[in-house]
Amino acid sequence: MSDAETRRRSWAEPWKIKVVEPLKMTTRAQREEAIASAGYNTFLLRSEEVYIDLLTDSGTSAMSDRQWAGMMLGDEAYAGSKNFENLSEAVAKYYGYRYLVPTHQGRGAEHLLSKMLIRAGDVVPGNMYFTTTRLHQELAGGTFVDVIIPEAHDPNVELPFKGNVDLAKLEEVITTAGPARIPYISLAATVNMAGGQPVSMENVRRVRALADQYGLRVMLDATRAVENAYFIQRREAGYAEKTVAAILRELCSYTDGCTMSGKKDGLVNIGGWLSLNDAALYEEASNLVVVYEGLHTYGGMSGRDMEAMAIGIAESVQDDHIRARVGQVEYLGRKIMEYGVPIVKPIGGHAVYLDARAIYPQLTQDEFPAQTLAAALYLDSGVRAMERGVVSAGRDAKTGEHHYPKLELVRLTIPRRVYTQAHMDVTAESVAAAYDARAGARGLRMVHEPKYLRFFQARFEPL
């Protein structure tokens, strides 16, 4: 079949709806009460108080009828579950890694990897931090060093691969610390905190070459690597005719293993894994997993969850699926831009990121502009978003000072196969309303600050 025959004109979803879940609408007075009792932190809202939930794309996707059917095939044996074999085969087929250690979710895999490879005083270079990933690296005694290209910190620079590693910076970090102090290069695809921005295949190939030159490992955060593969297909010379599945395999082939949150690309509500190619490392990981997660053939997942993920992986790499997924995010982003609201450009793979710094120039980062905007958005319409700014960045492990990230963002994260185009329209209208009221924003003050990953549970009061 020709390209014209196989490709539909729009990004329309390659599925129809079989089961629906009613949504609840709230009044402004109810939302005022709800956000106040949640300490102005959208993480602390009750889901029942939310209309359109764009807090995260993590574990919030809708499963297909095939996945639900797979749930009935759960082999809940403590050891040697058939579903583990199916999951291992799916990961080997679509990601290409030799060994699989299942974990309850992505951070379980990050914990095992950090514990195995990082020693006190080590340095872990990576293309921008992710909250849980960096914390596990730090808890193991390492220091994360950001080596993403500088343009990634500027919301207005439009580059096709804004998640790329700055190779000169990476080499400088390696030579300064000494290769013996670098347990691995931490490579993310796509880069969540940069706005869901992809890395190019060319860049990954060069990271591999540099790693080989210094005898280093490259570990991929594959959480949204399918979305990254789609951007490569769309934007990188030589990949337009390749399938997303083939591109994903090539991307992974330049790395030595991955940590994975199956709750994103993998189209399941819970689950993750650690993949490795090295037999000795696998031996250690499959031993360590029994301490922290569960036996090496379930690692914190039930058999049915592993089956749903095995099927979800196969669905996730279908070109039609991923085109509609990213297409919906782009649709929302373009709508919001039409209202003149500043967002991170280009539009990322899993979310639209509002530029809270540009929206609230009257607020300093100590007044938590992104946290303020997320609360304002909820108040307007019941749309729930997430802060990705100074609160998420946390404090410097050594000095105890706030990290002040250049990006002060509110993330509107789109669950996969859940919301309709009309929901995206309502969301854009609500963002526009919050934007129109921007001059009245006064900011927040933090009144409760948890020690780890404070953004999840911190509480605030209006200034």
Q: To the nearest whole angstrom, how small is the minimum distance from the Cβ of residue 102 to ligand F0G?
A: 12
- CA dist., res. 316 & res. 398, Å (int): 40
- CA dist., res. 7 & res. 246, Å (int): 18
Q: Which of 42, 56, 60, 131 is catalytic?
A: 131
The residue within the footprint of ligand F0G, chosen from 133, 143, 365, 372 (CB under 6 A), is: 133
Q: To the nearest whole angstrom, how small is the minimum distance from the Cβ of residue 180 to ligand F0G?
A: 27
Q: Which is nearer to ligand F0G, 196 or 443 (CB)?
A: 196
- CA dist., res. 290 & res. 298, Å (int): 9
107 binds ligand F0G per the rule CB under 6 A? yes
Q: Which is nearer to ligand F0G, 54 or 145 (CB)?
A: 54
- Examine the residue annotation and report whether 78 is marked as an active-site residue of this protein: yes
Q: Which of 264, 416, 417, 454 is catalytic?
A: 264
- Examine the residue annotation and report whether 368 is marked as an active-site residue of this protein: no
Q: Which is nearer to ligand F0G, 2 or 47 (CB)?
A: 47
408 binds ligand F0G per the rule CB under 6 A? no
316 binds ligand F0G per the rule CB under 6 A? no
Q: Which is nearer to ligand F0G, 58 or 286 (CB)?
A: 58
- Tell me which stretch binds ligand F0G (CB under 6 A): 125-133, 165-173, 240-248, 426-434: 125-133
The residue within the footprint of ligand F0G, chosen from 70, 102, 183, 272 (CB under 6 A), is: 272
Residue type, 158: E
Q: To the nearest whole angstrom, how small is the minimum distance from the Cβ of residue 179 to ligand F0G?
A: 25
DSSP secondary structure letters along 6-20 = HS-SS---S------
The residue within the footprint of ligand F0G, chosen from 130, 184, 282, 368 (CB under 6 A), is: 130
Nearest Cα neighbor of 122 from 181, 206, 201 is 181
Contact 263, 222 (CB under 8 A): no
**What is the size of the binding site for ligand F0G (CB under 6 A)?**
15
Nearest Cα neighbor of 165 from 142, 183, 181, 188 is 188
105 binds ligand F0G per the rule CB under 6 A? yes
Residue type, 373: L
The residue within the footprint of ligand F0G, chosen from 31, 134, 162, 263 (CB under 6 A), is: 263
Q: Which is nearer to ligand F0G, 181 or 403 (CB)?
A: 403
What is the strand order of the sheet 257-261 is part of?
99-103, 272-276, 257-261, 218-221, 185-188, 123-126, 143-146
- Tell me which stretch binds ligand F0G (CB under 6 A): 12-20, 127-135, 288-296, 358-366: 127-135
Q: For the beta carbon of residue 425, count every other beta carbon within 10 angstroms.
A: 13
Q: Which is nearer to ligand F0G, 190 or 441 (CB)?
A: 190
DSSP secondary structure letters along 179-207 = GGG---EEEESSBGGGTSB---HHHHHHH
- Examine the residue annotation and report whether 334 is marked as an active-site residue of this protein: no
State whether residue 250 is helix, strand or coil: helix
CA distances from 16 to 12, 19, 414, 418 (A): 10, 10, 18, 11
- Examine the residue annotation and report whether 406 is marked as an active-site residue of this protein: no
Structure tokens belonging to residue 227 = 């979305």
* Site track for ligand F0G across 49-78, x = CB under 6 A: -------x-x--------------------
Alpha helices in 118-243, H assignment, sequence order: 131-139, 167-177, 201-214, 225-235
Provide long-range contacts, Cβ within 8 A and 24+ apart, for 109-113: 109/259, 109/260, 109/261, 109/272, 109/273, 109/274, 110/136, 110/137, 110/259, 111/136, 111/292, 112/274, 112/285, 112/288, 112/289, 112/292, 112/293, 113/184, 113/219, 113/257, 113/259, 113/274, 113/285
Q: Which is nearer to ligand F0G, 107 or 242 (CB)?
A: 107
Q: Which of 134, 263, 323, 388 is catalytic?
A: 388
- Examine the residue annotation and report whether 398 is marked as an active-site residue of this protein: no
Q: To the nearest whole angstrom, how small is the minimum distance from the Cβ of residue 251 to ligand F0G?
A: 15
221 binds ligand F0G per the rule CB under 6 A? yes
Q: To the nearest whole angstrom, how small is the minimum distance from the Cβ of residue 344 to ligand F0G?
A: 15
DSSP element (H, E) containing 446: strand 444-448
Site for ligand F0G in 178-217 (CB under 6 A): 188, 192
Residue type, 302: S
127 binds ligand F0G per the rule CB under 6 A? no
Is residue 320 classed exposed, middle or buried when 0-12, 13-18 and 19+ CB atoms within 10 A define those classes?
Answer: middle
Contact 268, 309 (CB under 8 A): yes
Q: To the nearest whole angstrom, how small is the minimum distance from the Cβ of residue 337 to ligand F0G?
A: 22
- Tell me which stretch binds ligand F0G (CB under 6 A): 99-107, 116-124, 305-313, 445-453: 99-107
Question: Which residues are at the interface with ligand F0G (CB under 6 A)?
Answer: 56, 58, 105-107, 130, 132-133, 188, 192, 221, 223, 261, 263, 272
Active-site annotation, residues:
78, 130-131, 221, 264, 388, 455
